[in-house]
Amino acid sequence: NAGVTQTPKFQVLKTGQSMTLQCAQDMNHNSMYWYRQDPGMGLRLIYYSASEGTTDKGEVPNGYNVSRLNKREFSLRLESAAPSQTSVYFCASSSPGLGLNEQFFGPGTRLTVL
Amino acid sequence: AQSVTQPDIHITVSEGASLELRCNYSYGATPYLFWYVQSPGQGLQLLLKYFSGDTLVQGIKGFEAEFKRSQSSFNLRKPSVHWSDAAEYFCAVGARMGTNKLIFGTGTLLAVQP
């Protein structure tokens, strides 16, 4: 039982390049989330998926797109990376009735945009 | 608007000393309350959570937190800090109904002196 996994762990991009961050969970959770973490700002929600087939914007969605590929996988795409998107990205999952809102986090992806 | 405030950005304590990390929230009703810990380079791990009942909750690693409705607070405590407790601590709140989204505070970075 790996929990929540994220790939890659580290990535360096040039401004304007695109990339997709991958996230998968093996806990059969319904809900999945993407956060970014910046110094002094805590975790801010980018997008979330309450259940398979649905996605919704969070607090800071601009510049990002997401795909809930199936119940296990939730990817985050940067179409044209900008230096302001340099951050640590965390994926999380949760399931109603399983600890009510308790979220389980992946190890993170550290992204640098030059 | 819903918000979580962690007034202390950085705290330093001596090993063996007691610890209290503050968390205040602004919410329309009593939310679900969480404390997470993040060790350097790692994802977030749940320390403890409050849903209902006893307002003093016990968590992992010897931590406890007390929910005080009158003060809209959920402070984290530990009687005797160990060097391995050095990490960043995040308070979070979640709605009792609707989505499973969480709102995070900006975090408190704990340093432990030998």
Give the pLDDT confidence of B58-82 residue by residue, as tens digits. 999 999 999 999 999 999 999 999 9
Chain B residue numbers with beta carbons less than 8 Å from the beta carbon of A96 are 100
Residue-averaged pLDDT of chain B: 92
Q: Are B87 and B11 in contact (CB under 8 A)?
A: no
A interface test, pick of B3, B23, B101 with most A CB neighbours within 10 Å:
B101
Cα A68 to Cα A76: distance, rounded to the nearest angstrom: 9
Per-residue pLDDT at B54: 87
Chain B residue numbers with beta carbons less than 8 Å from the beta carbon of A104 are 46
Q: Are B45 and A107 in contact (CB under 8 A)?
A: no
| Single-letter amino acid code for the residue at A88 | V
Lowest mean pLDDT among A35-39, A40-44, B36-40, B93-97: B93-97
Q: Which residues of A62-90 are buried (b: 16+ CB within 10 A; e: fewer)?
A: eebebebeebbbbbbebeebeeebbbbbb
Report whether pLDDT(A107) > 90: yes
- Taking the Cβ of residue B26 and every Cβ of chain A, the question of whether any pair is shorter than 8 Å is answered with no
Q: Nearest residue of A to residue B6 by CA position?
A: A42
What is the Cα B81 distance to its own chain's centre?
Answer: 15
- Taking the Cβ of residue B40 and every Cβ of chain A, the question of whether any pair is shorter than 8 Å is answered with no
Structure tokens at B61: 């690693």
| Single-letter amino acid code for the residue at B40 | P
Lowest mean pLDDT among A4-8, A95-99, B57-61: A95-99
- Taking the Cβ of residue A45 and every Cβ of chain B, the question of whether any pair is shorter than 8 Å is answered with yes
- Taking the Cβ of residue A34 and every Cβ of chain B, the question of whether any pair is shorter than 8 Å is answered with no
Per-residue pLDDT at B30: 75
Kind and range of the H or E run holding A5: strand A4-7
Q: Which of B34, B42, B104 sits opposite A42 (nearest CB)?
A: B104
Q: Are A28 and A95 in contact (CB under 8 A)?
A: yes
Report whether pLDDT(B28) > 90: no
Lowest mean pLDDT among A12-16, A79-83, B33-37, B38-42: B38-42
Structure tokens at A77: 């795409």
Q: Any residues with CB less than 8 A from the CB of B70 and at least 6 apart, and which?
A: none
Q: Which of B9, B44, B49 sits opposite A105 (nearest CB)?
A: B44
- Taking the Cβ of residue B109 and every Cβ of chain A, the question of whether any pair is shorter than 8 Å is answered with no
Residue-averaged pLDDT of chain A: 92
Structure tokens at A94: 């949760």
Angle at CA of residue B97, ends B93 and B103, nearest 5°: 20
Name which residue leads in pLDDT, A72 or B31. A72
Rounded average pLDDT over B24-44: 89
Report whether pLDDT(B101) > 90: no
Report whether pLDDT(A66) > 90: yes
Query: Are A90 and B44 inside 8 Å of each other by CB?
Result: yes
- Tally A–B CB contacts below 8 A: 56
% chain B with pLDDT above 70: 96
Report whether pLDDT(B3) > 80: yes
Query: Are B90 and A4 inside 8 Å of each other by CB?
Result: no
